[in-house]
Amino acid sequence: MRSRRAADVAVSYTAGMHTKALLGFAAALLLGVSVIAAQQPAAPAQQVNTANPAWTTPAEAFTVVGPIHYVGTKDLAAYLITTPAGHILIDGAVPSMAGAIETSIAALGFKAQDIKILLTTQAHFDHVGTLAHFQNVSKASVRIMQGDDTLVADGGKSDYLLGGVAAAQFTPVKVDVVLKDGDAVSLGGITLTALKTAGHTPGCATYTMSVTDKGQTYAVVFPGSTTVNPGTRLAKNPSYPGIADDFRRTFDRLASLKPDIFLGAHASFFDLEGKRARMKAAGAAAFVDPDGYRRLHAQKREAFEAAIKAEAP
């Protein structure tokens, strides 16, 4: 396969939750998510199922491409980006998986203590649950996109959908750097561009970077989620002011990106297991999937528009 130009990633944006993951999350929230005032809790704690086995089953750690390694669970992604100056960790699953992620990092020959920067794509408990643990272990700089910094600092209590759900809260974390759209995150010769892709959370973030592996250069995107979770209000009494416009801007930005490889917040968004199996024959090229990226976000946009229509009188 010929080398792809990282410049094709018009540093702009990306997102994610795959149909299978959407159904799983919908099942996790029972049918009666109540209508509430904007930015108030939408469901009692007993309605959230945090026992999804794919969320809490460790996956064998492996190298995806270049310095990017998968250290998450069967479905909740966590990515370790390694450099000579220390490491970057993107996302971190539910709180109970801190030890498993640390074990995965060690299995690859690295140390959690060498993490220098902690990032997240979205401030929900299933992605930032271990953030406090890794901040404590590594003393790393916690860098959160503007809009999600408040959620991280209050342990999810101000979340527009799950703020009053005890099972969806997590240990509050001090935010060291509030990222703005387009900010660069650099360490040890590696630079990621942080893009604000709000909607799923007010500060949902996407990261883009260029990676060279065995002489080939790949444009890589870590998209934030664009799933409209059950109970979210987009048009009538919106969950937060401007949420529908945020989603639309996010879809447009994602569509403008041209990644070779996209690595979602849930493994089920991008067929991690299937691609990993194909690596035996194809190497990192098994993860090259621009068509899959376009299909995923086209499906997400359709689901968003359907949700808008469903709110119409």
**Distance separating alpha carbons of residues 205 and 185, to the nearest angstrom:** 13
Query: What is the DSSP secondary structure assignment for residue 134, as one 8-state letter?
Result: H
More confident residue, 225 or 33: 225
- Read off the pLDDT of residues 234-243 as tens digits, 9 standing for 90 and up: 998 999 999 9
Q: What is the dihedral of CA 304, 196, 122, 170, to 10 degrees?
A: -130
Q: What is the pLDDT of residues 92-117, one digit of tens each?
A: 999 999 999 999 999 999 999 999 99
| pLDDT band, very low/low/confident/very high, at 48 (cuts 50, 70, 90) | low
- For residue 138, what is the domain's CATH number? 3.60.15.10
Asked if the model's pLDDT at residue 14 lies above 90, the reply is no
Provide the whole-model pTM. Answer: 0.85
Q: How far apart are CA 265 and CA 93, in angstroms?
A: 9
Q: Is residue 1 part of a domain?
A: no
Whether the per-residue pLDDT at 42 is higher than 80: the answer is no
Residue 244 in any domain: the answer is yes
Amino acid at 142: V
Helices (H), 11-145: 19-28, 53-56, 98-107, 125-128, 131-138
Phi, psi of 156 (to 5 degrees): 90, 5
Domain-located, residue 294? yes
Other Cβ atoms within 10 Å of 85 Cβ, number: 12
pLDDT for 52: 84
pLDDT for residue 43 is more than 50: no
Residue 32 lies in a domain: yes
Q: Is 275 or 44 the better-scoring residue by pLDDT? A: 275
Residue 80 near residue 200, CB atoms below 8 Å: no
Whether residue 178 is contained in a domain is answered as: yes
User: Closest Cα partner for 309 from 31, 301, 225, 39?
Assistant: 301
Query: What are the tokens at 221?
Result: 């995107």
Structure confidence by residue, pLDDT tens digits, 175-227: 999 999 999 999 999 999 999 999 999 999 999 999 999 999 999 999 999 99
Domain assignment present for residue 35? The answer is: yes
pLDDT at 249: 98
Q: Is residue 56 part of a domain?
A: yes
What is the mean pLDDT of the segment spanning 267-277? Answer: 96
Considering the domain boundaries, does residue 150 fall inside one? yes
Q: How many distinct structural domains can be found in the chain?
A: 1
The predicted pLDDT at position 50 comes to 61
Query: Which structural domain range is residue 255 located in?
Result: 6-310
Higher pLDDT, 34 or 249: 249
